Amino acid sequence: MPASNTAAVLLAAGGSSRFGEPKQLLDWKGRPLIAHIADTAWAAGLEPVVVVIGAEADRMTPALRGHPVQLVRNYRWREGISTSINLGISVLPQETDSAIFLQVDQPLLTRRLLQALATRRAETGAEVVVPTWQEQRGSPVLFGRALFPELARLTGDTGGRALFETYRDRLVTLPVDDPLQLADVDTPDRYETLRASATASPETILGPVRAVICDMDGVLWRGETPLPGLHDFFALLTQHHIRYMLVTNNASRTPSQYVEKLARFGIDVTLDHVLNAALAAADYLKAHADPGAWVYPVGEIGVREALLNRGFRLSAGESAEHVVVGWAPSLTWQTLAAAARLIQRGAQFIVTNPDRSFPAEDGLVPGAGAQLAFLQAATGVPPIVAGKPEPILYEQAIARMEAAPHETLVIGDRLDTDILGGLRMGLSTVMLFSGIQGPEDLPKSPIHPDLVFDDLATLVTAWRSVKGD
């Protein structure tokens, strides 16, 4: 689950000589180790991801260009690890509740382990969380803010482990189920062994899946054209009793319009298989607002119908307790002005989806995210966003399926919404190239899906072979 107040401090300042080149720059699945670990931390939802560099800093900087990290240069790295810990802590924002201290040499570390460390801290209130395998303590370690001053007082090559004994009453462990997650690259041989075991296989990802969250546009169809493998995909889900939710950030249409569209392609699904961002926003409101509250809708039929179906009353703009914004192509300045006034007077600001633009027949056009930006600029109030990659839509999909996150797979065609949303929830992810992104987008992105396929047809073929069909 997202751990928004937990930061990552990647301690990557040290020099190493065993590998012929800096360990930080060893190749890991097509990118330098330092970038791979930083991306894993970021995909886990850790924020900010601070990377402390020192030795050969001029070669590290280009390796991290374009990655969502905060680079800090430690000119005193030769004095030992404590100088990097100190520097890393000094740049963390006030709201940081805890930090996970990472090294570059644990390439098989998973975002789930990082998320689990943060969750353990949230559940126990412990100031130190240490992963263990068969009672052996490993890395990375999470430290709570209360210990930041102690960490800052460390000197020389003494790391955070020096505090374990003093704070043993405030330390909890987190047993891991796979020792490889804690394995470190200490020799070239070890590096080759770990690299060989690193490839995610269809067996390990697809084997445990019992529930699927599937994007629609670019996955099931493009425009009015069904995509290859559509019928086989639903046949496979039915045959293996895999539950599914069809989800979309598009809030302008109603679920029944999607059911009808699939019926035209010869696929029978029911209304409770479809969840769009408008419904997710309305359900979120239903769980958090007074029944029958007044809501000012800035959106089309998708938003209005979802709100009315949940028992809310629709305001004409003079007063409301909530403002719900969805994509609205017939929007006027007057409507935006009314929404801004209500938000400034304290109405809760909810947006269906953050997509700033989307492709239309005549080029990119503004999406709900552009309306969000307009209202946020006018009011200074950040909204609650229901759609991907924020968690609300996926949380509701999982709840409706009564599924467990570790047995749930996300299938999508966009890295920054479908896949990132899944990674942040700790779900397995499959990226298809049948939508708007292709293989050429992968190396440039810090978002790494577990598996990639050309389209549903090739996914189904791989899945059937895992199932032995």
- The interface region with Mg ion, picked from 211-219, 228-236, 304-312, 349-357 by CB under 5 A, is 211-219
Lookup: tokens for 307? 């709100």
Q: Find the helix or strand (DSSP H, E) in which 284 lies.
A: helix 277-288
Task: Give 221's strand partners.
Answer: 217, 226
Chain centroid offset of residue 6 CA: 14
Identity of the residue, 265 or 374, whose beta carbon is nearer to Mg ion in the bound complex: 265
- The interface region with Mg ion, picked from 141-149, 170-178, 181-189, 405-413 by CB under 5 A, is 405-413
Work out how close the CB of 231 gets to Mg ion at its nearest, in angstroms, rounded to a whole number: 19
Q: Which of 217, 283, 355, 390 binds Mg ion (CB under 5 A)?
A: 217
Work out how close the CB of 435 gets to Mg ion at its nearest, in angstroms, rounded to a whole number: 5
Identity of the residue, 218 or 383, whose beta carbon is nearer to Mg ion in the bound complex: 218
Chain centroid offset of residue 288 CA: 23
- The interface region with Mg ion, picked from 132-140, 388-396, 412-420, 452-460 by CB under 5 A, is 412-420
Distance, CA of 196 to CA of 205 (rounded, Å): 17
Tell me how many residues contact Mg ion (CB under 5 A).
5
Helices (H), 136-211: 148-152, 188-196, 202-206
Identity of the residue, 40 or 408, whose beta carbon is nearer to Mg ion in the bound complex: 408
The Cα diameter of the chain in Å comes to 70
Work out how close the CB of 418 gets to Mg ion at its nearest, in angstroms, rounded to a whole number: 6
Q: Which of 47, 105, 127, 215 binds Mg ion (CB under 5 A)?
A: 215
The phi, psi pair for 363, rounded to 5°, reads: 115, -175
Lookup: tokens for 127? 């100031």
Strand stretches in 187-237, DSSP E: 211-215, 221-222, 225-226
- The interface region with Mg ion, picked from 51-59, 208-216, 271-279, 437-445 by CB under 5 A, is 208-216
CB 275 within 8 A of CB 395: no
* Residue 413 in the binding site for Mg ion (CB under 5 A): yes
Identity of the residue, 355 or 413, whose beta carbon is nearer to Mg ion in the bound complex: 413
CB 255 within 8 A of CB 271: yes
Q: Which of 107, 131, 218, 229 binds Mg ion (CB under 5 A)?
A: 218
Identity of the residue, 249 or 371, whose beta carbon is nearer to Mg ion in the bound complex: 249
* Residue 127 in the binding site for Mg ion (CB under 5 A): no
- What is residue 406's three-state secondary structure? helix
Work out how close the CB of 432 gets to Mg ion at its nearest, in angstroms, rounded to a whole number: 9
Single out the catalytic residue among 215, 355, 418, 455. Answer: 215
Distance, CA of 427 to CA of 271 (rounded, Å): 24
**Interacting positions 325-364 with Mg ion (CB under 5 A):** none
Work out how close the CB of 442 gets to Mg ion at its nearest, in angstroms, rounded to a whole number: 16
Annotate each residue in 420-439 with x if it binds Mg ion (CB under 5 A) or - if it does not, as one string: ---------------x----
Angle between helices 333-344 and 368-379 in degrees, nearest 10: 50
Helices (H), 354-429: 368-379, 392-401, 420-424
Work out how close the CB of 410 gets to Mg ion at its nearest, in angstroms, rounded to a whole number: 11
Active site residue 215: yes
Active site residue 455: no
Distance, CA of 293 to CA of 391 (rounded, Å): 24
Lookup: tokens for 211? 């529930």
- Residue 53: which of 81, 23, 27, 74 has the closest Cα? 74
Single out the catalytic residue among 217, 355, 413, 418. Answer: 217
- The interface region with Mg ion, picked from 1-9, 64-72, 139-147, 216-224 by CB under 5 A, is 216-224
| Residue number with the smallest Cβ distance to Mg ion | 218
Identity of the residue, 232 or 416, whose beta carbon is nearer to Mg ion in the bound complex: 416
Identity of the amino acid at 307: L
Work out how close the CB of 219 gets to Mg ion at its nearest, in angstroms, rounded to a whole number: 6
CA distances to 109, 212, 237, 328 from 333, in Å: 49, 40, 46, 12
- The interface region with Mg ion, picked from 70-78, 151-159, 265-273, 410-418 by CB under 5 A, is 410-418
The phi, psi pair for 445, rounded to 5°, reads: -100, 145
**Interacting positions 256-285 with Mg ion (CB under 5 A):** none
Identity of the residue, 215 or 300, whose beta carbon is nearer to Mg ion in the bound complex: 215
Work out how close the CB of 249 gets to Mg ion at its nearest, in angstroms, rounded to a whole number: 8
304-319 per-residue burial string, b: 16 or more CB within 10 A, e: under 16: bbbbeebebeebebee
* Residue 305 in the binding site for Mg ion (CB under 5 A): no
Task: Give 428's strand partners.
Answer: 409
Enumerate binding residues for Mg ion (CB under 5 A): 215, 217-218, 413, 435
Residues involved in catalysis: 215, 217
